Amino acid sequence: MMTLCHENDIEEGSSKGFEVANKYLFAVKKDAQIFVYYNYCPHLGTPLEWQEDQFLDSDGALIQCSTHGALFLIESGQCIQGPCKGKHLKAIPFQQGNGFIMINEEDVARLGRI
């Protein structure tokens, strides 16, 4: 296991990008809960963010792909609007202990095309 970050490194209602094992991930904090996903749009496989650490729509309610605007639920990663409607972002399993978010590097290294 490796530490991705501390949960306090992500502000409530915001997101943060990471690079692990040459793969891109991002985490979102909503209602004090953390969600971690592979930064790979199920439409064309592009990274999602608009700018560094900006993965959410303007009111912070949904994850939004900057390429064609697909919208995803923060809680499940399900696309609810856009060209990949019905598909899901790939959730990354993680553990939390003492406020740290920990992931398995081997899980991440295995990520490929969805």
Which part of the chain contacts ligand FES (CB under 6 A), choosing from 12-20, 21-29, 77-85, 103-111?
A: 77-85
Instruction: Tell me: does residue 16 bind ligand FES (CB under 6 A).
Output: no
- Tell me how far, at minimum, the Cβ of 89 lies from ligand FES, in Å: 10
Q: What track of x and - describes contact with ligand FES for positions 37 through 56 (by CB under 6 A)? A: ----x-xx-x----------
Q: What track of x and - describes contact with ligand FES for positions 80 through 109 (by CB under 6 A)? A: --xxx-------------------------
φ/ψ (deg, to 5) at 94: -150, 165
Cβ burial, residue 64 (10 Å; 0-12/13-18/19+): buried
What DSSP string runs through 48-113? --SSTT--B-TTSSEEE-TTT--EEETTT-BEEESTTTT-B--BPPEEEETTEEEE-HHHHHT---
Q: Which residues bind ligand FES (CB under 6 A)?
A: 41, 43-44, 46, 65, 67-68, 70, 82-84
